[in-house]
Amino acid sequence: MVSQPSNTRRRLRFAGVAAVAVLAVVSLVATACSKSSSSGSSGGTVKAAWIYVGPVNDGGWTQAHDAGRKYVETKLGSKVKTTYKENVPEGPEVAQVINDLIKDGNTVIFATSYGFKDAMQAAATANPKVKFEMATGDSITLGQKVASNYNEFYGAGEDSLYITGIAAGKATKNNSIGVSAPFAIPEVIRGINAFTLGAQSVNPAAKVNVVWTKTWFDPAVERKSAESLVAAGADVIFSHQDSPSAGEVAKAKNLPWFGYDSDQSGPYSSVWQTAGTYNWGPFELSELNKVIDGTWKQNNYYGTIADNFAGLAPYGSTVAAATKTLMDAEITKAKAGKADAFGWYWGLADRQDQDGKTVITKGQTLTMKDLYTMSYFVKGTTGSPKG
Amino acid sequence: MSINDNLFVIIMASAIFYGTPLVFASLGELLAERSGVLNLGVEGMMLLGAVAAAWVSTNVGGPAIVVLPLAIVAAMIAAGLGASIHAFLTITLRVNQIISGLALTIFAGAAGLSSYLAGIWQLGQTPVKQQFGKIDVFGLTDVPVVGPILFHQTLLTYLSWVLVIAASFYLFRTRAGLHLRAVGESPQTADSVGISVSRYRYFHVIFGGSFAGIAGACFSLMIVPTWVDGMTAGQGWIALALVIFGFWRPDLTLLGAYLFGALSSLGLTLQARGIHISTALLTALPYVMTIVVLVVVSNTASRRQLGAPAALGKPYEREER
C-alpha cells in the first residue's frame, strides 16, 4: 500500500463491517424466530416443550406433531403450558435448545426427529427431574442403556401402509407400483415391505419398484424420482416424503398417487388415493396426565391402529368402492385386536426376501426389535434395501 | 414404445427442465462476476425470488398471461433488492465480497427472511394458483427425439434461451459489454478512460441478482410448484460453480447447467430401471469437473485465456491508482 487509508475510508470500512454484523444478527434472529405459543396460567401447571426439525406448516411430519401439541393444549387447558422450537437442525444446536428449554422451566421435552436422540439421552442423564420423550427413538428396544427419565415412542405406521398397499395393488393396471423413498433405514424398509405385502394380498402379481432419493426433503429430487419411476413403467406412485411435487407428476400423467404423513388431496383430488398418518396427540396427552398425577414412567410406546395412533388419510374420490370395502375390512380387523397389537399381516404366510430366502415363517409374530432392525425387502420389490 | 420413450430422450428432456433454474442463476452470477463482483448470495436471492413469485401467483387474481409475468417481475425485484444490499456493501463500502455474499444467503435464505415472509403470507399450504406448465411449441412435441427435448418445455426455459443469446451478444458484441469486461479485468484502466466502475458494478450485481430471482421462481412456479421452505436446496451454490465451469461464458454455462441437470436425474432414472450406480457419485461428477476447471484457472496465464475476470473479488479503490 502506498498511502495510509484515510479516516473516511476507515470509517466506511467500519460501517461496512458493522452492516455485515447487523445482517448476520438479523438473520440469526430470523432463524431463531421459533415462535413460542403458550396458553394457560402459571402455578400448578406442567410446562412442556416440543422440538421440531421442520417448520410447523410443512404440511407433513412437523405439522402432525404440532397438531399433537395443540390437542394436548385443548384437552388439558390451564394444566399445561406448551412451547415449541421449530426448524431445529439435527446437530450440536439441539443440546443448546434443550438446555434453554429446561432453563425456561419446562419439565417435559418432546423431541420429534431421530437425529435428536443422542442429545436427548445426554440431557436426560444430566437432568434427572425432567422427563424426556423421544419420538422414533429405538434405543430402548435395541437394549441400549438409557436413563429412566428418558422414554421413546412411535407406532406402527407400516400397518397403515399395509392397508394403503391394498389400494395400490387394486389400482395398478400393469402391476408396476413406483415408490419414491427417502433413506434405506428400517423405518422406511418395513413400511415399504408392509406396503408391498398389502398390494400382493389383493394382487399377487403386483411388483413394487423402489427409488431412493436420499433426502427427506428436496422437492426437485422428489419430482425427478417420480418421473423416473413413471418412465420405467410404474402406473401408480407412492411418495414416502412430504413435499407435493410427486403429486404434480401423478396429476400430469393422471396416475393414482399415495402420499405420506398427511392428507395432501386438496389440489390433487383427481389422482389422490390415501396416505398413512400418525396421530401423536392422544399418547402425548396420556404422558402429560401421568406427569401431572405423578405416575409417569418409561414405557417404550409403540402405537397401533387400534389405539388410534396410526391411521389413514381420507380416501380419494377415485378409490373404487370395492377397494374401500377391502381396506375398511382390514381396519376393522386391526381395531378388533388388542390395543397394543400390531403387524397382524406379517405372518399370514411364509415370506421370502428378494433372494427367495424365507425371512418370516407362517404364524410368526414380529417383535418391535424385528421391526426396528428390518434390513431386507420382501419378494416382489425391486430396488436395493441397502439404498 | 415409441422412440421418444428411450432413456436418452427422457434424460435430455429432464436435463433441460431441471437445468433451467441453473441457467438463470448462473447467467446472473456471470454478469456480476464479469463486473468483478463475486456474489455468494445466489441461494438467498433465489429463495427471495421464489417466495415473491409464489405470493403473486397465490394472491393476484387474473389470467395467467398477466399473473405469471407479474410473478416473474416480483421475483426479479425481490432478488434485486437482496443483490442491492450486496452491491452497497461491496462496492460503496468495499466490504469483503465473500463475507457479504455469505451474509446475504444466511439472511435471506432457508430459515431466514424468505421463510419468515412465507410464514407471514401463509404460503406453502397449497400449490400456487398459476404455474408454468410445459407447452407444445408449434405442435412439434411428438417429433422423434428433438420434440420432447426441445419443443415440450415451459416458457421459462425458452426465456432462458433468449437471455443467454442476449447476454452473449451484450458481452461480446456491444460497447457496454466491452466496458463491462474492462471493469472486471482492470477497473483502473476502465476508470482512466472514463468508464464509471461503480455504476457498472452496481448495475450488473443488481440486474444479475434479479436473474437469481427468476431461478427461484422456476422452483415455486414450475418445478414444485408451491412454496416450500428452503426449496432451492443448494442449487444456488451449484450455479456459482457453473460460472467457473462455463469459463464465464453464457453459452458454455448453459451447457454446464444441462450437464448438471442430466447427471442429477441420471442416477434416479437408472435406479428405476434396476441399474445401481451410486446416485451420490453421479451427482458428485460435475463438482469433480468443476475442481478440475478450478485447478486449470488457478494459473494466471490460463485464467486470462479462459476468461476469468482478473479483478474478480477485489474491491476497487480509486485512490490506489
Would you say residue B320 has pLDDT above 70?
Answer: no
Alpha-helix residue ranges (DSSP H) falling in chain B: 7-34, 42-59, 64-87, 97-108, 113-121, 146-150, 155-173, 175-185, 187-192, 197-218, 235-245, 250-272, 279-297, 300-306
| Single-letter residue type at A194 | A
Between CA B19 and CA B257 the distance in angstroms is: 5
Residue pair A110/A150 in contact by the 8 Å Cβ criterion: no
Q: Which residue in A has a C-alpha nearest to residue B274's C-alpha?
A: A383
pLDDT at position A75, please?
95
Domain that holds residue B192: 3-320
A387 touches chain B (CB under 8 A): no
Would you say residue B190 has pLDDT above 90?
Answer: yes
Would you say residue A59 has pLDDT above 90?
Answer: no
**Candidate from A27-36, A40-49, B271-280 with smallest mean pLDDT:** A27-36
- Spell out which residues of chain B touch residue A59, defining contact as CB-CB under 8 Å: 124-125
Would you say residue A387 has pLDDT above 90?
Answer: no
Of residues A125 and B299, more confidence is placed in: A125
Q: Note which residues in 167-206 of chain A have CB less than 8 A from chain B.
A: 178
User: What are the Cα distances from residue A246, in Å, to A27, A51, A227, A369, B313?
Assistant: 32, 28, 8, 32, 40
Dihedral (CA of A42, A48, A53, A59) sign: negative
Residue pair A105/A315 in contact by the 8 Å Cβ criterion: no
Q: For residue A23, what pLDDT band results from cuts at 50, 70 and 90?
A: low
Residue pair A229/A178 in contact by the 8 Å Cβ criterion: yes
Q: Per residue, what are the HEC states of B29-92?
A: HHHHHHCCCCCCCHHHHHHHHHHHHHHHHHHCCCCHHHHHHHHHHHHHHHHHHHHHHHHHHHHH
- Spell out which residues of chain B touch residue A245, defining contact as CB-CB under 8 Å: 223-224
Q: For residue A191, what pLDDT band results from cuts at 50, 70 and 90?
A: very high
Please write the tens of the pLDDT for every residue from A110-124: 999 999 999 999 999
Record the cell numbers describing residue B109, joined without a space: 435464505
Q: For residue A11, what pLDDT band results from cuts at 50, 70 and 90?
A: low
Record the cell numbers describing residue A306, joined without a space: 387400534
> In angstroms, what separates the C-alpha of B116 from chain A's closest C-alpha?
7
pLDDT at position A136, please?
92
Q: Which of A144, A133, A84 is nearest to A296 (CA)?
A: A133
Beta-carbon contacts of residue A259 (< 8 Å; ≥ 6 apart)? A239, A242, A244, A246, A247, A272, A274, A275, A313
Would you say residue A37 has pLDDT above 70?
Answer: no
Would you say residue B256 has pLDDT above 50?
Answer: yes
Phi/psi at A57 (5° precision): -110, 35
- Provide mean pLDDT across the span B93-120: 92
- Provide mean pLDDT across the span A336-361: 91
Q: Which of A178, A277, A274 is nearest to A229 (CA)?
A: A178
Q: Which residue in B has a C-alpha nearest to residue A9's C-alpha?
A: B93
Instruction: Provide the 10 A C-beta neighbour count for residue A331.
Output: 16
Mean pLDDT of chain B: 90
Domains and CATH numbers, chain A: 46-155 (3.40.50.2300), 157-277+312-382 (3.40.50.2300)
Beta-carbon contacts of residue A155 (< 8 Å; ≥ 6 apart)? A278, A283, A301, A302, A303, A304, A309, A310, A342
pLDDT at position A90, please?
87
pLDDT at position B321, please?
46
> In angstroms, what separates the C-alpha of B281 from chain A's closest C-alpha?
12
Q: Do the bridges between strand A310-312 and strand A272-278 make them parallel or antiparallel, or are there none, so unpaired?
A: antiparallel
CATH number at residue B76: 1.10.3470
* Axis-axis angle for helices B42-59, B235-245 (nearest 10): 130
pLDDT at position A34, please?
44
Please write the tens of the pLDDT for every residue from A99-113: 999 999 999 999 999
A25 touches chain B (CB under 8 A): no
pLDDT at position A4, please?
45
Q: For residue B119, what pLDDT band results from cuts at 50, 70 and 90?
A: confident
Quote the number of domains for chain B: 1
A3 touches chain B (CB under 8 A): yes
Please write the tens of the pLDDT for every residue from A276-302: 999 999 999 999 999 999 999 999 999
